[in-house]
Amino acid sequence: MPESPENEKDGADVTSRIEATVERISEKVEKMRTLDYVFFVDHPYKRIWHNFVNGVARGVGSAIGFSVVFALIIMILEWIGNINLPIISELVNFILGLTEK
């Protein structure tokens, strides 16, 4: 069923309002990015501090993540070692013995 001219006009009106809203939001976001850039250019020590804190957070997060993954690997290897599979258990127990040293 074809749309009536009134529905087409309403649809075009809604589309134009959405486009205008998106354009306004885009301009505001761009202005905010520019203001952030100007702030960091005007305050170099704040930029250095911000980058330092970012680096510390990434380093701590990486260390925690590595520790969790390594602990899980050790737990899985211990579980495999306790199954008593002939060749695999010997290899896993050897690897676990190296990690305990």
pLDDT tier for residue 93 given thresholds of 50, 70 and 90: confident
For the stretch 7-24, pLDDT in tens is 666 777 888 899 999 999
* Residues 92/80, Cβ–Cβ less than 8 Å: yes
Its pTM stands at 0.51
Alpha-carbon distance values, 10 to 15, 16, 19, 21, 29 (Å) = 9, 10, 14, 17, 29
Half-sphere exposure at residue 94, Cβ-oriented, CA atoms within 13 angstroms: 6
| d(C-alpha 3, C-alpha 50), whole Å | 56
